[in-house]
Every structure is written in structure tokens, then in C-alpha cells.
A = this chain, B = another copy of it.
Amino acid sequence: MQRTHSSGLDPSEVEDLRLRTREFIRGPVMDAEPRPGQALNLAVRRELGAAAKVAGVYAPHVAREYGGQGLAVEQWSGVFQEAGYSPIGPAVLNCMAPDEGNMHMLALLGTEQQKRDYLLPLAGGEATSCFAMSEPHPGAGSDPEALSTTAAPAVGGWIINGHKRFISGAMFAGFVIVMARTAATENAPAGATMFLVNMDTPGVTLGAPIHTMDRYLPGGHPHVEFDGVKVLGSAVLGEVGRAFAHAQLRLGPARLTHCMRWLGLARRAHDIAMDRTNTRNIFGSHISELGIAQDMIASSVIDIESSDAIIAKCAALLASDPKAGSALSSVAKVHCSEAVYRVIDRSLQLCGGDGVSDGLPLAQYLNEVRPFRIYDGSTETHKWAIARRATKSRRQSVEAGEPFLGSVRFYEGGR
């Protein structure tokens, strides 16, 4: 497989891009933020996107040949955190889910034609997209193997039938990458296959939106129905029957970019709380001088720094050993999603009554990040996977000769 992502920038270029991103976000982007709980206006998004291109900060993760800034995956974190400092930053810079993950996958798996037709307009902000994996119970949810949408071979292509839901971004998407079950053929195993499908293809119907507690993404997370949708053979993304493996290519980095962006928002919340505690008096002191508040602030710093560190470790591993990196992304995802939630919760708490009002954006931030403990694999699902990997790996080590440490040896006599 061709490496289509650039091999990255020099360290000084990365730092320069981070600082320019910071300046752009803390200037025009923060000035344009909607009030808490309101989605970003699409016209504003377009306008700011144009300014981001001029400022040379647009699509930081995309290769330069497709109009991006050319960062390698291990260089994303600092820049994505700066983008996430504003809840609308990632959308403005076109590095938001689900488009960002789709760009990543198109770059890794797409044919040249697919890149021209889908990656190029997506990277440039002329199109938006969505990713259709989740299904209503008892279909694919926490357990992807329960996939019930199907694609059957037809003359010149495939026919897709199924029902998806929680399809973030579908309302405004130009195309969708849909996962469907496919039977074994001579050349392909039984499994799942990914298809690139334009949203205006006959048989694709946008269903009812699902209102969720997060609000910044325009259009919610609707149902999408596929009813006898015909697509050409060239609509297959990657290889037939290998979509579960392909999806891993997307999921590891996609999990991690969520961590990066939300960590940026946690830094924002933390700064809001520090600006309050640095200026509010209570019982004759600045709140920031009271020990209980200091304990909360320090706990947030520890959460932020440890999240930043595990993201860096995981991103480096994704670059050098994608399979190990993907496994570690479960660890990073659980740690960061829980840590980010705690940081915003503490920040809200430090702001007292104003914290729960829309006079500050913290209550909305809390609602934005709460779902992150569930989507892209819930904390519990990941923990289950982490434990299984750890115990299996340890068992194999012992079988390979590591000393077995589980034996009990009692000692006689006094101690």
C-alpha cells in the first residue's frame, strides 16, 4: 500500500504551524463562536475556512498535494489541541470527525480516481462526508460483528440494503462511506466491505435525526436507510471482504484525534476556571488561593499532562507500528475521555452557579464531551478489550519462558 500521507514536517515547521494555528483559533475563530448549545452556522464555517487557507492552517493532517499542511500522524497532537481549544475550531480547520477520519482512510486506501473524486473535494472543504457503521440494536454497535447491512453482487456492481443510525454529519454530507456485509467469493473472504456512496444515490434516505446532548455538530446524528442502493464496482473502498481490517486503520487514529481535539477543549475549560479563580474573591481570598480549589486545579493539570503524554506515546506508535498503536489507542481513548470529562466537570464546579448557566460555556462543554465516553467504543468495551489483550499477552509470555509468578510460597517460622 502506498504511503500517501506525507512523511511529515521538520520539528520547527510543526511548532510554527502550531503557533499559527493557535493564533488563528484564539483570534478570528473564538470571535465567531456561537452561543452555548448552538451549532456552527455553515456560512460562517465557510468564511472562516477560507481565512484558514489564507493563513496556511487549513487541513493540517492532509498531504500538501491535496491542499493540506502535510503533518504526519505523530505530529498532529499539538496542532489538533490548538484547533480543539474552540469547539468550532476543528470544523473550521476541516480536521473534525467524521470527515477527518474519512480523509485519512481515503488517503490510505483510495484509488487515484477515488482520491480525485472524494478526497480532493473533502480535503478542500467543498464536500462533507459521513461514515455509516452503527446500526440499531441488535445490529452493529459495540459489537461490530453484529453488522446486518448487506451488499450483494449485481451486474456491474453491488446492491446495498440496510439501516444505519447515529450517522454523524449525514444531514449535510455529499457522500457516505458505508460498511456492509458481503459473502465470500473466489477472491475475497466473507466479511464486510466499505463502499463510497453519494448521498443523492436513489435508495439512500436520510431518516430522523437523533437528538443528543452534544450540540456543536450541525445536523445531529440521524438514521440513514439504504434501500436497494445500486453502486458500481468502483465504489468499493479498499478490498472486498476486508472492511473490518480497513476500519481499524481508521479507528485507531480517529480515536486519537478525538482525544487531541477534546483535550484542547479541556484546556479551554481549565483556562476559564483559572481566569475565574484568579479574579473571584470568596471569604477574603482569591479562589485560586484556597486549598480545595488548588487541589482541583492541580488534578486537572495532572489529567491534562498525562493525557497529552499518552497521546504522544500512542501517536508515535501508530506511526512506527500501526497494530501496536491501534491497541494502545484503546488505552489512550479511555484515559483521555475520562480525564477530559473530569477536567471540564471540575472547571464547571470551580465557577459555581455561573458554571451551570449559559453565561459560561462550561455546561455545554460538559454535554459535548459526555458522549465521548461512549462513542468510538465505550470505556467499558475498551477496558474489556484492554484486559483481554493484556492477559493473553502475559499468558503467551509465560508460555514462551517468562517466569510464572502466580505460585504461592508460604514461609514457616517467625517473621
Q: State the A residues within 8 Å of B (CB).
A: 26, 30, 35-37, 134, 137-138, 141-143, 166, 208, 210-214, 221, 268, 271-272, 274-283, 288, 290-299, 301-302, 305-306, 308-310, 312-313, 328, 331-332, 334-335, 348-349, 352-360, 363, 366-367, 370-371, 373-375, 378-380, 382-384, 386-388, 390-391, 394-395, 398, 402-406, 408-412, 415
Contact = CB atoms under 8 A, between A and B. Distances in A.
A334 B310 CA distance: 16
B210 A295 contact: no
A366 B367 CA distance: 9
Contact of A352 (B26, B309, B378, B404): B378
B405 A271 contact: yes
Residue in A35, A366, A386 with the greatest tally of chain B CB atoms within 10 Å: A386
A306 B335 contact: yes
Contact of A275 (B282, B301, B406): B406
Contact of A356 (B214, B277, B382): B214
B359 A292 contact: no
Contact of A387 (B26, B271, B297): B297
Contacts of A142: 282-283, 352
Contacts of A387: 288, 293-295, 297-298, 301
B415 A358 contact: yes
Interface of A is mostly: helix
B363 A213 contact: yes
Contacts of A213: 356-357, 363, 366-367
Given A142-B352, A214-B356, A358-B411, A292 B406 contact: no
Nearest to A38: B415
B388 A294 contact: yes
Contacts of A384: 291-292, 294, 298
Given A290-B291, A291-B294, 7 more contacts: A143-B283, A210-B358, A213-B356, A278-B406, A353-B375, A363-B367, A366-B370
Copies of this chain, tallied across the complex: 4
Contacts of A141: 282, 352-353
A102 B185 CA distance: 68
Contacts of A379: 349
Residue of A137, A281, A349, A408 contacting most chain B CB atoms (<10 Å): A408
A26 B293 CA distance: 37
A222 to B, nearest CB: 10
A370 B356 contact: yes
Nearest to A142: B282
Contact of A309 (B272, B281, B312, B415): B312
A349 B380 contact: yes
Given A210-B357, A211-B357, A301-B387, A411 B35 contact: yes
B292 A291 contact: yes
